[in-house]
Amino acid sequence: MDDESTRAVVVHAAPLEAAVRAIFTAAGSSAREAELIARQLVEANLTGHDSHGVGMVPRYIEVLRAGHLKPNRHARVTLDSGVMLALDGDEGYGQVMGHEAMEHGIARAREHGTAVVALRNSHHIGRIGHWAEQCIAAGLVSMHYVNVVSEPVVAPFGGRDARFQTNPFCVGIPLPGAKPVLLDFATSRIAMGKVRVAMNKGEQVRPGTLLDRHGDPTTDPRELFARPEHGAIVPFGEHKGYGLAIVCELLGGALTGGHTLHAKPASRAIWNSMLSIIVDPARLGTLGNLSAEAEEYIRWVKASPPMPGVDRVRMPGEPEEEHRVQRGRDGIPIDAATWAEIVDAGEKAGVRKAALEALAGFG
Ligand code: NAD
């Protein structure tokens, strides 16, 4: 990598998607698969979640080249009882599996009023809010419990070392004529990507966030990335967030027919399994009530006087919408190290740096 590829860049969403599509097409994916991967990663950046954006490209290419991730797979139906569907991701790209799982679930929820979709053995399905947004676009409420089988980084409540991953939980609620409510978070106190950012900037993390390699509290982000022994992130919300992480592991990883994390995996793959429950409020006969009650309730909650330093009270989903507007207009900033890694991953997949940067709109 030369000096030029280590510059920070600002790239607009459409050319960034084109660049990412080119990498995955060169890496053997069909045009549709490359498009689904690129769209979801860039959407994560647009919504402000850089930890799940195009910075994942090098990891995916690494896992693909190691032979763990399989291109051009589809969500395979292993059980179909009408309202319940079990799908196997067959170690394929999570962007395809998440999309196809929601397509199936949306069709079933339209037919039956509700659907339970159990997806197992998919590679990283990225930002879970993306899948709730697919349901929201169809007018459907959805709940998602997700587990992650990858190197453990989160300690149990009261424990001193990492035993599970950042198990995300997500709920999407469409509201006719109003913005949807979209709650989507990792059950760790802080996302792993945010600890890495603090380390790269030479900053400390907030007290109460991390344990060091001996299991004692620390604010030093380097402890999480130390090897062979490393520290851990604590769960959010003390015993309550920890409990939700356990529920995500058991519903996402076990009830779906997938795997839980109970040993250190050898590979760098990130396996996700997800239990999704989808509900059609129109078929439940409560769409009008949901809409009217939500309007009153949200107005009431948002009327709370803001704390010093806070401009206004927000609903879950609003920060992402604000990012979407700002980054859609001004472009997506990508730090120098991340862009250099993406260029390097592109070269490994067979896309020359000059071609990639031309697609990204500069160079
Ligand atoms: P976060 O801490 O930024 O929390 C995001 C949630 O909190 C959103 O619902 C957001 O709207 C809401 N929120 C934030 N500020 C708010 C405010 N001021 N008022 C009201 N609501 C507010 O998110 P995170 O925990 O860093 O997770 C980031 C992403 O990582 C998520 O999209 C998650 O799905 C994803 N993730 C994926 C995996 C995986 O294995 N696929 C694992 C972990 C996390």
Stretch 217-239: mean pLDDT, rounded? Answer: 96
SS3 333: strand
CA of 4 to the centre of ligand 1 (A): 33
Angle at 250 between CA 136 and CA 135, to 5 degrees: 5
Nearest CA to 128 out of 145, 115, 114, 140 is that of 145
Q: Which residue has the higher pLDDT, 195 or 350?
A: 350
Q: Output the average pLDDT for the chain.
A: 96
Q: List C-alpha distances in Å: 247 to 66, 149, 191.
A: 31, 15, 18
Q: What is the pLDDT of residue 2?
A: 43
Give pLDDT tens digits for 335-346. Answer: 998 999 999 999
Nearest CA to 7 out of 348, 346, 357 is that of 357
Q: What is the pLDDT of residue 201?
A: 80
Nearest CA to 40 out of 102, 123, 128 is that of 128
CA distance 229 to 95: 32
Q: Is the pLDDT of residue 3 over 70?
A: no
Work out the pLDDT band at 6, boundaries 50, 70, 90: low
**Residues having CB within 6 Å of any atom of ligand 1:** 49, 51-52, 124-129, 148, 166, 168, 170, 182-186, 191, 272, 314, 316-317, 319-320
Work out the pLDDT band at 40, boundaries 50, 70, 90: very high
Q: Is the pLDDT of residue 250 over 50?
A: yes
Q: Rounded to 10 degrees, what is the CA torsion of 52, 323, 307, 292? A: -100
Q: What is the pLDDT of residue 196?
A: 82
CA of 131 to the centre of ligand 1 (A): 14
Q: Is the pLDDT of residue 78 over 60?
A: yes
Q: What is the pLDDT of residue 199?
A: 87
Listed in sequence order, the residues at least 6 apart from 227 whose beta carbon sits closer than 8 Å to its beta carbon are none
CA of 320 to the centre of ligand 1 (A): 9
- Put residue 28 in one of left, alpha, beta given phi > 0 → left and psi -120 to 50 → alpha: left
CA of 186 to the centre of ligand 1 (A): 6
Give pLDDT tens digits for 178-224. Answer: 999 999 999 999 988 889 878 878 899 999 999 999 999 999 999 99
Q: What is the pLDDT of residue 25?
A: 98
Give pLDDT tens digits for 130-151. Answer: 999 999 999 999 999 999 999 9
CA of 169 to the centre of ligand 1 (A): 9
Q: Is the pLDDT of residue 38 over 90?
A: yes
Q: List C-alpha distances in Å: 64 to 12, 16, 28, 71, 153.
A: 27, 21, 10, 8, 23
Listed in sequence order, the residues at least 6 apart from 79 whose beta carbon sits closer than 8 Å to its beta carbon are 85, 86
Residue of 37, 185, 187 to mutate, ligand 1, most atoms within 8 A of C-beta: 185
For 23, list phi and psi in degrees, rounded to 5. Answer: -65, -45
SS in 3 state form for 40-93? HHHHHHHCCCHHHCHHHHHHHHHHHHCCCCECCCCCEEEEECCCEEEEECCCEC
125 CA: nearest ligand 1 atom: 41
Q: What is the pLDDT of residue 197?
A: 77
Radius of gyration of the chain (CA): 20
Indicate which residue's Cα is closest to atom 35 of ligand 1: 127
| Burial label, 42 (beta-carbon count in 10 A; 0-12, 13-18, 19+) | buried
Q: What is the pTM of this model?
A: 0.97
